[in-house]
Structure 1
Amino acid sequence: MSVSTLDGLSLDAEPKEVQKARFALWNKRTLKSMGNGFLTEGTISNYSNNLSNLKSAFENISEHTANFPLRNSIFEYESLDSFKGTYDDIANDSAFTENIKPNGLHRNNLFDAIKRYLAFLKWQDKHEAEYQKFFELLKFFVNQANKNADKRLNHEKVSPDRDDRFGFNDSYHLSEGFNQVGPLRFGITFCGNGQISTVQSTFMNTDNWLNIAVSDSDKSKHLLKLQVGWHINHVPKGLDFNGFFNVSVAHLQLENTMPNCWVRAIFDFILDQHKQYIHSSQYKEEQIMGSNSEILTYANMLEHVHNIVFHGAPGTGKTYLSKGIASYMTGVSQKKLGKSSRFAFVQFHPSYDYTDFVEGLRPVTDEDSGEMIFKLYPGTFMEIANKARNEWERCSKEVKAKYDEVEGNDNIEEDVGKEILKRDFDETKKLAKKYVIVIDEINRGDISKIFGELFFSIDPDYRGESGSIDTQYKNLHDDSYADERGGLKASQMFYVPENLYIIGTMNDIDRSVDSLDFAMRRRFTFIEIDAQSKESVRMLDGDGEHTYDSNRVAKAKKVMAAMNEQIRKTEYLNESYQIGASYFLDVVDPEKDGLLPETQAYENLWNNKVGSLVKEYLRGRDDFQQIYNEIAKTFDSNAGTRVADAYSVSSESNGDKEASLQTQDKEDNDVD
């Protein structure tokens, strides 16, 4: 932007210059449609120049200036209260308003600029409580830093405990949540024992590395200057950050009861950088992926192949990973994913069929007769496919309209026509929002019965209109089905658009991947998630929303690795029978058993989940007791439990029961 911004202000800038820079920053953040034209950066620049010389610009239009005193610059009015009366006088001056019509000064006229500044002051007034809270926090930070410096100078001991160092001592009477200002949560750190030994050793900071640090102090270590901006090692990618915003502490006038323009400017600057950050691609990756960088890899793969299936041992985080990918691709946080219209989740089972997934008749009550009737409703897949289709077609029309100069030209050469189609397709794909459906336990359903004729359309090679088909209920399609229930019109054929992506999950031990028909394998890319793979183990490290105790995490990884190795080398078992990390979340997650003593947490894990799963693995084996104890002892030796000792196999236990049943079956067969 051509007008000045906060990071370009000098330490000796006058208050009106600070206010002008704040106005520029606010406009930069809130550019939007205005009147018959658009509020542009050039317009804002003209506004600022006119407003900087308000009195002289006004005198060129009206002779009534003497009736009400005007300050030389509008930026000398720092609050709504100070400006409202002047604005009313200007608005009621007919000599002024009659000479600012569009045929005079056009839409970039002085009155538009004045109204824009009034809107800025109203916005400031609306957020006054936040400015005041920030002012009190900043005042506390500077005063406490100086207080600590005085103690150090007088050889008084500054309490080294955490409360005093971080500014949360009860003697300051700080209310709960005092450091939460608007969307920002500030931390305060004072250098050990109160000594400001280096630049930035005493600072205020937000959760995202935005700092207010000490850039200069006097001989007694009292604060002289502050620098506001990102930590030098943590500047997010792609932000409009040209350098630190430097402020003299004296200019802050911390002895006052109300924040001045310099204090407001610091908060504006931090808020602007924060908002840029939360809309950046880096923030999106950090929030959605957390520490799981594999999500980005698989998301890129999915965008290319359209359909993938994650398979592997139980509890390896296949569903968790799928939702992470869906979250990344749609741009919707995992917390809100379930309510998003661009995401769908289903779980297949033996009773699930075409009418649930694609479309089918549902019993409803007729509004007129009150009798039960049947109406056609779209299934989960058709519903999200049609939403994605509407988005794709909308974007396609928008792209074609952009190049409408080519439309209608019947003499386009074939090669040129292909280039145009490719260009339109590429731009539509880039513009259209992405939709994702996750099919959990995809191998537990009868794929042919569920997908029906749609098995053709989901093929990546037949996406789009070229893969259009008629569904089984084509004869029941009408406008009400499309408009009221999200189905298809009579004139429409069904197709799967390019912006719909399918993710399936399956456990290998439920049904072998090899038993799925080749038609499915050809349409999906299969990716194995091993229990000890980094995708699975990384679940224990937490994500952007959850963090766990590092010692408990390290132990959980150790126990899991040892037990899985024991399972792997057991005859007739393999990697598909290993135990995934989601089981071990119980012992690290504070919302589960993560706050219990470790021994108790691991005993609960074995008794409630892992032990019973191992029993299922070994059911019917002659060496049940031996193998079970070997796995249990491995668990004990690493977890510090005694679950193996607690389990003894009697003559009525699983092994003998199975043997007894097998003997009885043999005797029955002999009798037959």
Structure 2
Amino acid sequence: MTGDESDIYNRSYVRAILSYMKDKYGINDYDPSESSSEAPNHVLVIDEINRGNISKIFGELITLLEPSKRKGANEEIELILPCSGDSFSIPDNLYIIGTMNTADRSLAMMDTALRRRFDFKEMMPNPTLFNQAKIKWQDVSIDFEQLLTKLNQRIEALYDREHTLGHAFFFPAYNAATAGEHEEAFELLALAFKNKIIPLLQEYFHDDWSKIALVLGDNQKLDNAGKEVTDYQFVTQQTIDYSSLFGARYEPDNFGADEYRFKLADENHSVWNRALAYVAIYEPQAIKRAAAMSGVEPMSTPA
């Protein structure tokens, strides 16, 4: 669009795009005489399709998406493009795939016309795709499949199944691990938790750190005496001393006050670099086993 309504159809721009697509992807010139049954299939992928205004994006094209209205079908429909005056129809060898995130609120507002013309297929996280890959670091093995499974089970129990974590969070670490770069894989995993997963959990649970600690299994990281092991906790529970904060005469209001506060480990805290802390997310007993093997109890606080 150039700003002049009479010249909305910018032919030079379209030619440049077509030229690039032919050079980059080997797309042939359009042959109107070619039968779609003889032409190869083509796929158009629209990522995050629900984030746009569907009615404005597709316009009258929405009708042409139906199989019965495509070129060569019994009820074939052609439209005349308003700017170029060319006739337009959709061949039956074009497949349109739209992706969307079920956690987005915009999904509930999806246009009924679009729902009627697309098949909807749910693609939930599938931890088995990690093929039992593991990060082998600091004498332990971090299992991607078990880690993602346990995190999602807890999120589903505390929130809902629509907000479970996808594979993309772990793929950089997974790719490094399968390439044998386990140190790099562990660093990428730690970064994923620090910069992506935990901030996302903050959004999910509205900064309710008690629930975030439950998702991370921090409440289950105990030593043989049943005390919480802070060395391996990403979110620690700390007692609030009201008398030292507000004086001995302070009394909580009628609704009471929380006796504890929760604190996320600092950026440079050693827990981010402890492989066992990630194993203990899905296997809390690993801490007790490690202590028994080493003969040294990790730092604990009263439960």
TM range (shorter): 0.5 to 0.7
The residue that corresponds to 2:277 in the other structure is: none
The residue that corresponds to 2:30 in the other structure is: 390
**CA displacement at 1:511 relative to structure 2:** 2.4
**CA displacement at 1:453 relative to structure 2:** 1.0
Distance 1:447 1:617, change over 3 A: same
The residue that corresponds to 1:615 in the other structure is: 202
1:642 aligns with 2:276: no
CA–CA distance in 2 between the matches of 1:641 and 1:597?
21
Identity %: 25
List per-residue Cα deviations over 1:355-394 (Å, max 9, x = no partner).
xxxxxx2479xxxxxxxx86524879x979xx79935x44
Distance 1:646 1:389, change over 3 A: farther
**Normalised by the size of structure 2, how large is the TM-score?**
0.59
The residue that corresponds to 2:39 in the other structure is: 432
The residue that corresponds to 1:551 in the other structure is: 134
Distance 1:469 1:575, change over 3 A: same
**CA displacement at 1:607 relative to structure 2:** 0.3
- Which secondary structure does the structure 2 equivalent of 1:586 belong to? helix
Which of 622, 632, 636 matches 2:216?
A: 632
1:452 aligns with 2:59: yes
CA–CA distance in 2 between the matches of 1:568 and 1:645?
22
8 Å Cα contact 2:172/2:188 also seen in 1: yes
**CA displacement at 1:594 relative to structure 2:** 5.1
**CA displacement at 1:586 relative to structure 2:** 2.8
CA–CA distance in 2 between the matches of 1:593 and 1:625?
35
Whichever residue aligns with residue 390 of structure 1, its letter is: Y
The number of equivalent residue pairs is 212
Which of 474, 488, 507 matches 2:101?
A: 507
CA–CA distance in 2 between the matches of 1:580 and 1:643?
21
Bigger relative contact order, structure 1 or 2 (CA pairs below 8 A, ≥6 apart): 2
Whichever residue aligns with residue 579 of structure 1, its letter is: L
8 Å Cα contact 1:586/1:593 also seen in 2: no
1:376 aligns with 2:10: yes
**CA displacement at 1:575 relative to structure 2:** 1.2
8 Å Cα contact 2:46/2:96 also seen in 1: yes
1:528 aligns with 2:122: yes
CA–CA distance in 2 between the matches of 1:643 and 1:602?
14
Runs of 4+ in 1 over 6 A off after TM superposition: none
Distance 1:494 1:375, change over 3 A: closer
CA–CA distance in 1 between the matches of 2:113 and 2:28?
24
Whichever residue aligns with residue 45 of structure 2, its letter is: V
1:472 aligns with 2:85: no
Which of 149, 165, 183 matches 1:579?
A: 165
List per-residue Cα deviations over 1:78-98 (Å, max 9, x = no partner).
xxxxxxxxxxxxxxxxxxxxx
Distance 1:598 1:448, change over 3 A: closer
Runs of 5+ in structure 1 lacking a partner?
1-360, 365-372, 397-427, 478-489, 542-548, 651-672
CA–CA distance in 2 between the matches of 1:577 and 1:602?
20
Whichever residue aligns with residue 176 of structure 2, its letter is: P
List per-residue Cα deviations over 1:40-85 (Å, max 9, x = no partner).
xxxxxxxxxxxxxxxxxxxxxxxxxxxxxxxxxxxxxxxxxxxxxx
1:561 aligns with 2:149: yes
- Which secondary structure does the structure 1 equivalent of 2:236 belong to? coil
Whichever residue aligns with residue 81 of structure 2, its letter is: T
**CA displacement at 1:558 relative to structure 2:** 0.5
Distance 1:616 1:388, change over 3 A: farther
Whichever residue aligns with residue 467 of structure 1, its letter is: I
Where is the helix percentage greater, Structure 1 or Structure 2?
A: 1
Whichever residue aligns with residue 133 of structure 2, its letter is: S
Whichever residue aligns with residue 522 of structure 1, its letter is: R
1:603 aligns with 2:190: yes
CA–CA distance in 2 between the matches of 1:607 and 1:498?
47
**Normalised by the size of structure 1, how large is the TM-score?**
0.28
Q: Pairwise CA RMSD of aligned residues?
A: 3.8
CA–CA distance in 2 between the matches of 1:508 and 1:593?
34
Taking the TM superposition and a 5 Å limit, the aligned residue runs for 1:136-285 are none
Distance 1:460 1:554, change over 3 A: farther
CA–CA distance in 1 between the matches of 2:14 and 2:50?
19
Which structure would you say has the larger Rg?
1
List per-residue Cα deviations over 1:407-464 (Å, max 9, x = no partner).
xxxxxxxxxxxxxxxxxxxxx52x2112211100000000001111111111222111
**CA displacement at 1:593 relative to structure 2:** 11
Distance 1:497 1:599, change over 3 A: closer
CA–CA distance in 2 between the matches of 1:376 and 1:598?
48
Whichever residue aligns with residue 441 of structure 1, its letter is: E
Taking the TM superposition and a 5 Å limit, the aligned residue runs for 1:29-68 are none
**CA displacement at 1:500 relative to structure 2:** 1.1
CA–CA distance in 2 between the matches of 1:504 and 1:434?
17
Which of 87, 92, 100 matches 1:498?
A: 92
CA–CA distance in 2 between the matches of 1:433 and 1:460?
17
CA–CA distance in 1 between the matches of 2:134 and 2:190?
18
CA–CA distance in 2 between the matches of 1:389 and 1:471?
19
8 Å Cα contact 2:42/2:94 also seen in 1: yes
Whichever residue aligns with residue 506 of structure 1, its letter is: M
CA–CA distance in 2 between the matches of 1:599 and 1:646?
26
Runs of 5+ in structure 2 lacking a partner?
22-26, 136-140, 222-230, 239-260, 264-303
CA–CA distance in 2 between the matches of 1:636 and 1:557?
20
The residue that corresponds to 1:72 in the other structure is: none
Whichever residue aligns with residue 395 of structure 1, its letter is: E
